[in-house]
Structures are given as C-alpha cells and as structure tokens.
Homo-oligomer: A and B are copies of this chain.
C-alpha cells in the first residue's frame, strides 16, 4: 500500500538519492523535478518519518512539557504554540506531568531521547535537577513562566502586574488589605507578584496583611473565614484568579455582597472572571501570545538564530466590578 522512496524513484526513472534530494531541497534539474513531483502527487507518497529520523538523528518535533492539562493558562499557552507550529514544518508533542516533579524530569530525558528538535517547558519551579537535566540533554530549550539565568526564558511581567494591582487598590481608597499569595518557592507567582504589590503600597498609609494558600480553589475557600474574621479587610488581593474565584464564592456563601462588603481582585485574566457576578478585577496575562512567541523563539534557536535570553510578556490591569471605591 504505502510507497517507499525506492518505488517512487523507479516510477520516476531516477535514483533514490535524487528523490531524496528533491524532497530535501537539494539541487535537481527542472525536468527531473517535474517527473518526481508528478509521481509523488499521483501516488500520494509520504516519506517514512522513522527512517528519516533514524538517519538524520533528529526530528521535527517540538516537545512541550506542561504541569497540568486542566488549567486556563496551560490551555491558552498550548493553543498559542499549536497555532504557530501548525503551519510550520514542526509538530507539537505535549507531555503532561500532573505536577509531579519526577515526571517533569523524566519527560525532559524521554523527549530528548526521542530526539525532539526543541523543548518548551511550562515551568512552575526550576530546580537544580531541572537545570541539570536540561544541561545534559543539550537541546534547545525555552522556559515559559519562570526565569533562569541558565536558560532562555519567556516570562509574564508579574512584578509589574502586582504593582498595577497595588496602585489601583490604593487609588480606590483601600487601607486595610489582605494579600493572599502563594509559596515563595514559586518565583513568578509567589515572589514577584507580591514584590510588585508591596512596592505600590509601600508608601501608602495602609495596612497590608500577607497570607498564603496554594493554587487550589477549594483551599482558598477554606482560608476565607479566618482571614475575614481576623483582619476585617475591605479587600482581599488574590495571587491568582483561581484563588479569587474561591474567595468570591466563600464570601458569597457567607452572605457578603461583593464588592459592597468586600472587594476582591485576581491575577491572570481567566475567561471565567468576566462571567462571574460580579465580574472580577484582575490583570490580564497574554498566555496565547506567550505561546506563539515561545514557539517562534524555539524555532529560531533550532535554526541557530539569536534570541534574547529573556522575553517579557506584558500584562494589563482589567478593571471590572469586584472592587469598591472606599471614601
């Protein structure tokens, strides 16, 4: 059924090597080119990827390692990568790790073993083991979401995002604030967003109470009562939209009116924050665009073109209904 390069060669009356050269853009005369072209379209010939990869010792696959499949940020980033890659000669291979660090490391080696042309790593944390693995496999890599001195990285401007939220919250007159962040192990979400927020609120005469939770919505809900009762804040600034969603739900379950009784903000710009009632004031992250850029960059790296060590994706404050003006 499926043809080989040898059969194509025979049908076209040329040598295998000539067909191969035609396929790979080598020098072929106009008329042999035509002959081969005809045969190929007639037969619907498609080269065998394995044979090709075996010889060439590389593939046209871009491996993308993601921590989870069911996240807005992941999905959008993947969509961006996919969009950029689908019309290129590269193919996207997605490897999910379910937030298991070991699987993440394993995936690096396993994808390298499959001779992927490049690697995009949607990172939540960059450990020594990551760096070590990336070093060993020695293929082009782009980190997305976290930054490392030793890698090409694409990050969102978390600190700026935090700063914008901080400025806005102060501007709305809030002076008793809970900042509900996440562990500082996560540099982007845990450290930088908070840092930007601190910088914006530092000079203002306001109390900011810092608390921590994880990325889980339900966990945030559980934390709500304690935070609200302890600090009686007029606003809870949440380090992710997901956390904000949890706080919103918990507040509403308690019978509070948002934003009249309590204001809430998030980070990320997940679609759903526009749909809740009230809609949530947040900072828009451009995940899809980041994916596009990451894909473009990895292709450049593969082609030995220069790219910046660090690419910054912008963020933008989106003012909606969940923040009250305090007078």
Contacts and interface: CB of A to CB of B under 8 A. Distances in A.
A284 interface: no
Interface of chain A: mostly helix, strand, loop or mixed: helix
B54 A82 contact: no
A86 B96 CA distance: 9
Contacts of A252: 277
Contacts of A49: 50, 113-114
B50 A245 contact: no
A86 B102 CA distance: 13
Interface string A257-294: 00000000000000110011100000000000000000
Contacts of A92: 96
Contacts of A78: 69, 96
B275 A217 contact: yes
Interface string A33-65: 000000000000010111101100000000000
Q: In the complex this chain forms, how many copies of it are found?
A: 2
A76 B92 CA distance: 20
A114 to B, nearest CB: 6
25 contacts: A2-B113, A46-B113, A49-B113, A49-B114, A50-B50, A51-B54, A54-B54, A69-B78, A70-B72, A75-B75, A78-B96, A79-B98, A93-B93, A93-B94, A217-B275, A245-B272, A245-B275, A246-B275, A248-B275, A248-B277, A252-B277, A253-B277, A276-B276, A276-B277, A277-B277
